[in-house]
Amino acid sequence: MPSFLTSIVVSFYLALMIPATVLASGTFSKHFAKTELTPTARKMTRLHFYFHDIVSGKNPTAIKIIAPKGSFGMTAMIDDPLTIDTKPGSTVVGRAQGLYALASQHDSALLMVMNFAFTYGKYNGSALSVMGRNPVLDAVREMPVIGGSGVFRFARGYALVNTVRYNPKTGDAVVQYNVTVVHG
């Protein structure tokens, strides 16, 4: 019994004394955590492009992956081109990759979850992440930019979105995006 009691007392002593000596010597901060001063200035970037959502034809860029009997719950996976103009053959600056789903039972509102993966110019290899509600019948919609990578690391911002063209027969659409982000 005395050896058990002694081991408890020694363990308790070590638990109290070792962290105090480690903190006093700065060992923890030297070896495990590093704090550096960084400039507080952040960059603001404004982007303008067009999203081509093609659901018809031989090479659709959006396909339904869930198609319930009603429209509520319809979900589509997308790999839509982002271009500098409304014309389908205009310069592609990136891809909108992700999904959208009809998430409202009462109006035409989509849940958008996508990355804008840029492939052109100084933003090549960088991406922005957008996730939010898109009430598609509104003239202008706002969705949050919740992050980014590459040039857009630490991005936060918003996208103002409006439909330029929609074909009710095919379901194809061209949507204008005006994106404003603040990033590191």
Asked if residue 145 is part of any domain, the answer here is yes
115 assigned to some structural domain:
yes
* Residue 29, pLDDT score: 41
From residue 123, how far is each of 88, 94, 156 by CA, in Å? 21, 9, 16
**SS3 call for 72:** coil
Distance, in Å, from the CA atom of 65 to the CA atom of 55, rounded to the nearest integer, reads 12
Please give the pLDDT value at position 168.
95
169 is a domain residue: yes
The phi, psi pair for 89, rounded to 5°, reads -90, 5
Buried b (16+ CB within 10 A) or exposed e, 25-40: eeeeeeeeeeeeeeee
- Percent composition of the chain: helix, strand, coil (DSSP 3-state, to 5): 20, 45, 35
Q: What is the model's pLDDT at position 14?
A: 47
Query: Which pLDDT score, from 0 to 100, does residue 25 have?
Result: 53
Rounded Cα distance, 181 and 146, in Å? 9
Determine, yes or no, domain membership for 4: no
Domains in the chain, number:
1
Top pLDDT among 138 and 28 is at 138
Q: pTM higher than 0.85 for the full model?
A: no
Domain that holds residue 66: 33-183
CATH number at residue 127: 2.40.480.10
Report if residue 2 sits inside a domain. Answer: no
Give per-residue pLDDT as tens, 137-183. 999 999 999 999 999 999 999 999 999 999 999 999 999 999 999 99
Answer yes or no: is 3 within a domain.
no
28: pLDDT confidence band, cut at 50, 70 and 90? very low
150 is a domain residue: yes
Q: According to the model, what pLDDT value does residue 88 have?
A: 79
Domain assignment present for residue 6? The answer is no
Which residues make Cβ contacts (< 8 Å) with residue 112, sequence separation at least 6? 98, 100, 130, 131, 132, 133, 134, 143
* pLDDT tens track for 65-92: 999 998 999 999 999 999 999 997 899 9
Q: What pLDDT does residue 2 have? A: 54
